[in-house]
Amino acid sequence: MKTQVPHNFVFSQSNLQTYLNCRYKFYLRYIQKLAWPAQTTIDDLRFEEDRNAGIRFHQLLHQYFIGFNPELLIRMAENDPDSRVLVWFQTFLASPYAQLQGKLESEKTITTCVDDKNFIVKYDLLQFKSGQYTIYDWKTSNKVPNRERLIDNIQTRLYPVILSEAYQTDLPIRLIIWEIIAPDAPFIFSFSSQELKRNAQYFKSLCDEIVSLEKTDFFKTANTRQCKICEYRSHCNRGITPATFEDLEESALTDLEDYWNTNRDDANLV
């Protein structure tokens, strides 16, 4: 049986989350590569402002971790067109994350092959200290996500697995998701080697399933809430009105994170 997925396809948090949200969207975006521009939300200006402020905040943190003078970065934040960026950066400087020790790698990309499938992930920050890896993920969400939803999020499960597979390590791995609007309440997830193996098996089964599907198996989701935030909604006859800002969910933000993290061609099809 001929697979619909190209042999050199690279799985990422974004395309796997897309598949789980809607198989047909995965087919349109990653197999057909159908560009279908659509207004993301009714308030696109605010959406763009939030996204761009988040990108600049990530850049400031990257520059901090690669050794830029913090005074210079504060001046850059002071001159940022969005006043939130300075507040966020000052919050960061006052947090324990500005004092991290050990081996630190900012904006660390890992590409690896697991069971003949290619994967790419990009960590905001990777720390190795005292025999433990910790992955840090900075977020600038408007709303603090629900922990239960984060646990099930593809990013939460995939990031540690790819690290353990690429580095061939059985060491436990932590993932810390730091929401800038709740700086004192980071989400901390710890993964034992058994959990990492279980999650690796989950991704193996998921990717095997994706590459085995026939064209007709990439059906449209029954969850029409996904359609509200999907750029293909007019293509699918699932409405033409853009989502409200409140309709945006973690899945949409995951796509955007992939966009600014990897800047890959397929991610540009957001």
Core vs surface per residue 118-131: b (16+ CB within 10 A) or e = ebbbbbbbbbeeee
d(CA 118, CA 115): 8
Residue from 236, 249, 260, 270 touching ligand SF4 (CB under 6 A): that is: 236
d(CA 180, CA 88): 7
Q: How do beta strands 173-179 and 10-11 pair?
A: unpaired
Is residue 227 a contact point for ligand SF4 (CB under 6 A)?
Answer: yes
Task: Please report how close the Cβ of residue 49 comes to ligand SF4 at its closest, in angstroms.
Answer: 25
Is residue 233 a contact point for ligand SF4 (CB under 6 A)?
Answer: yes
Residue from 238, 245, 266, 270 touching ligand SF4 (CB under 6 A): that is: 238
C-beta closer to ligand SF4: residue 97 or 218:
218
C-alpha distances (whole Å) from 269 to each of 14, 29, 89, 156, 264 are: 11, 7, 30, 23, 9
The helix (run of H) or strand (run of E) holding residue 75 is helix 70-78
Task: Please report how close the Cβ of residue 249 comes to ligand SF4 at its closest, in angstroms.
Answer: 12
Rg (CA), the chain: 19
- Give the interface segment with ligand SF4, choosing from 2-10, 102-110, 127-135, 227-235 (CB under 6 A): 227-235
Is residue 230 a contact point for ligand SF4 (CB under 6 A)?
Answer: yes
Task: Please report how close the Cβ of residue 170 comes to ligand SF4 at its closest, in angstroms.
Answer: 38
- Give the interface segment with ligand SF4, choosing from 112-120, 123-131, 175-183, 231-239 (CB under 6 A): 231-239
- Report DSSP state, residue 215: G
Number of shown-chain residues binding ligand SF4 (CB under 6 A): 13
- Report DSSP state, residue 121: E
- Give the interface segment with ligand SF4, choosing from 178-186, 195-203, 225-233, 247-255 (CB under 6 A): 225-233
Residue from 12, 15, 226, 251 touching ligand SF4 (CB under 6 A): that is: 226
Within 10 angstroms of residue 266's Cβ, the number of other Cβ atoms is 17
- Spell out, one character per residue from 176 to 215, where the chain touches ligand SF4: x when CB under 6 A holds, - when not: ----------------------------------------
Chain CA centroid to CA 177, Å = 11
Residue from 128, 202, 232, 245 touching ligand SF4 (CB under 6 A): that is: 232
Task: Please report how close the Cβ of residue 235 comes to ligand SF4 at its closest, in angstroms.
Answer: 7
Instruction: Output the CA angle 193-195-199, nearest 5 degrees.
Output: 115
Which of 265, 226, 218 minimizes the C-alpha distance to 247?
Answer: 226
Task: Please report how close the Cβ of residue 193 comes to ligand SF4 at its closest, in angstroms.
Answer: 36
Residue from 24, 30, 89, 218 touching ligand SF4 (CB under 6 A): that is: 24
Q: Give the ranges where 186-268 is alpha helix by DSSP (H).
A: 193-212, 224-228, 250-262
Q: How do beta strands 103-114 and 117-129 pair?
A: antiparallel
**Chain contacts with ligand SF4 (rule: CB under 6 A):** 22, 24-25, 28, 220-221, 226-227, 230, 232-233, 236, 238
